[in-house]
Structures are given as structure tokens and as C-alpha cells.
Amino acid sequence: MKIKPKAKPVNTDPVSDAVKMAAANFMILSVSVGLFKGKKELKEAGAIAAKQAGAEKGSVIVPLLGHHQAELEKVVSQYAKIRTIFGELGIRYQPPEKLVFVPEVIEVLGKLAKQQVIAEASLAAFLPEYDRFVKESLPSQGTWAREVKRHLPTADELAAKFYITIHDPKPIPAMDMERYGCVPTSTMGKIVTASNEALASKLEAAKRSTLDSALEAVEKVVTQLSKEKPRLHQAVIEDAQNASAQLRNLATGYDGDIRLRSIADMIDKEVINVDKATHWHDNISKKQGARDAAKKTATNLKRLKKAVPVAPQPSSDPQLVIGGLLADIL
């Protein structure tokens, strides 16, 4: 009698611990921003300028509001600032999405919403003056006034170009086999494995991006503190603090990499050894200490970037991960 070979056990839990950890500790946020910078290349003016200069091509780019352009730029700045804030508070994930540590989601949403109110208030104050700005600026455009006018939107059209949308937070889409009981176990196992391998790749890319941002922040400290008379802004410290916080969040919420915590500790305790950046001017010892600690931190970050990932990484056919059904799932 032939003995039927035992079936190979099916991997009933193909989701890695690091992916599970990230799915439990991070949420995905995204922000959409629209704005109108009010600068335009004038093709007709460029052609005339080229002809006068005896050149094949010419380029004439003008601020459409002339001497009132600064008023528009104030509005643009407030709308663009929300991108800066979001960039500082979130971990690069899959543009335009960012990862935000769950305990910080409410705080991040609050800061974004606060800047949205400021931006929209600046636009509301600008719009009633817009037609006057257009009327007063056109004469200053000289021979290009007619072409400039064609590129200027109406007040309503301008208002529609400015917007900020703070999208609802989403969970990291780590798939769970138990949710798909109607699908054969072997088939579902392959799908879940491939899905989570793709997610593991995205999370590791997010970690590399965070290391890059941290390296940029500490190298900025090195550069500034290596100058004899540096122009020190508080942003130097704030960028380093943000880098440290994101490193800690990744260590806690993703792969438990203790090296991230060690680097964060060095940034917090040795690189940022003053409350205000300007205090480095008054204390040579602290200035040199911070610079040396920043150099050491930069070296550690570069080594870590080359190190083998702590979290398990995909090993299957990449085509399985990115093609077919998974393109819709992810």
C-alpha cells in the first residue's frame, strides 16, 4: 500500500512581525495643496525679445501682479507652509503619503488644521483687493500688459486655485488571512505573503528616507558650527529634534532597531546641548562639543544606511509583488 505523502504545512501567518508592528503603530496621512504663484512665461514677449537680440529663442517670465506680487506671495507662503509642517511631522512613505506615529496623529492633524485656518484667512483678506491689484499693476507691465492680462485669472478663478485638503488618516494595509475565509488557504497565503512583502519594502524605504533626513539635519549642524562666525537659526536645532523624534518613532513602532534609539539619544543629549542656537555663539566648549557629536552621529548614520535591515525583507519574485491583483490591493 502506498503511503500518501503529507501535505506541506501552509504558512498561516505570512505577515512579518515588523509589518504587524508598523500597522499597529503608524497611520497614513496625506495633504493636498493647491496654489497660484502668479508668475508666467510670456511667449509673445519672449519671441519679440529674441528677435531684438538676434537669438533663436527668448524667455520672458514676469510676476503677473507687478509691484503687488509680494501681496500674492504672502498668501502662497501660507499655503506652502502646510507642506513644510507636514514634511517635518511625518515620515516619508509613498508620496504624497506620510507615516505618522499613532500617539501623535491628533497633534499632527491639529497643527495642519491650524495652518489651514491661517492660510485660508490670508486668502480671504487678499481676494477683496485682487481686482485693484490687477488694475494698478497692468500699467507697470509696459508693452507686455495685454499678454499679461490674458494670463490673469478672475478673482473667482484665483480663489478656486487655492485649496488645502487634509485627508482622513488611513491604516497601513497589512493583510490578514482570517478576513478572507472564502478564498482557498494556499491561494490567500500567496496573496497575503506578496502583499506584505511589498509593504515591507515600502516600510524599509521609509526607514532609509528617515535616515537620510536625520543625516541632512546633523550635517547642517556640522556645517554651521564649523564656521568661525556662523549665522545660527533655531531651525538648526528644530530640524535635529525632528530627526531624533522620527528615529525614535521608527525604533518603537517598526523594527525595534536599538541603534536608532542610540543615535536619537546622542542627538538629544550631545548634539543639541543648548536651548537656543544662538547660545553656541557664547560658549565655545558647547559649540565644539555639539559639532563633534554631530560629526560622530553623521558617521553612525552613514554606517547604519549600509547595514543589513533588521526587519525581514522580500525574497520572492518582485513581479508577483507589484503585478496583477496586488496593484489594486496596495
Task: Give the DSSP letter string of 10-67.
Answer: P-S--S-HHHHHHHHHEEEE-EEEE----EEE-HHHHHHHHHHHT-S----EEETTGG
Q: How far apart are CA 286 and CA 271, in angstroms?
A: 9
Tell me if 64 sits within 8 A of 148, measured CB to CB.
yes
pTM above 0.85, yes or no: no
pLDDT of residue 7: 43
Quote the DSSP letter at residue 313: -
DSSP code per residue over 230-257: ----HHHHHHHHHHHHHHHHHIIIII--
* Cell numbers describing residue 247: 528615529
Name residue 218's amino acid. Answer: V
Please report, to the nearest 10 degrees, the dihedral formed by the alpha carbons of residues 133, 138, 139, 143 taken in order. Answer: 160
Burial 179-205 (b: 16+ CB within 10 A, else e): eeeeeeeeebbbbbbbbbbbbbebbbe
CA distance 65 to 130: 9
Three-state DSSP state, 164: strand
What are 193-198's contacts with CB under 8 Å, separation 24+? 193/11, 193/14, 193/316, 194/316, 194/320, 194/321, 194/326, 195/326, 195/329, 195/330, 196/14, 196/15, 196/16, 196/19, 197/314, 197/315, 197/316, 197/321, 198/314, 198/321, 198/322, 198/326, 198/330
Q: What is the pLDDT of residue 199?
A: 82
Taking only Cα atoms into account, the Rg of the chain, rounded to an integer number of angstroms, comes to 27
* Segments making up each domain of the chain, as ranges: 31-166, 177-329
Query: What pLDDT shows up at residue 106?
Result: 95
49-101: per-residue pLDDT in tens?
Answer: 555 555 556 566 778 999 999 999 999 999 999 999 999 999 999 889 999 99
Per-residue pLDDT of the chain (330 residues; tens, 9 = 90+): 444 444 444 444 445 788 888 988 999 999 999 999 998 877 765 566 555 555 556 566 778 999 999 999 999 999 999 999 999 999 999 889 999 999 999 999 999 999 999 999 999 999 999 999 999 989 887 777 888 888 899 999 999 999 999 999 999 876 444 444 444 444 444 545 656 777 888 899 999 999 999 999 999 999 999 988 878 899 999 999 999 999 999 999 999 999 999 999 999 999 999 999 999 988 999 999 999 999 999 999 999 999 988 887 665 444 443 344 334 333
The pLDDT of residue 60 is: 64
* Residue 93 grid cell: 512613505
CA end-to-end span of the chain, whole Å? 48
Q: CB 104: neighbour CB atoms within 10 A?
A: 16
For the chain, helix (H) and strand (E) counts, in that order, are: 13, 8
Q: Which residues contact 22 (CB under 8 A, 6 or more apart)?
A: 99, 172, 174, 199, 203, 253, 254
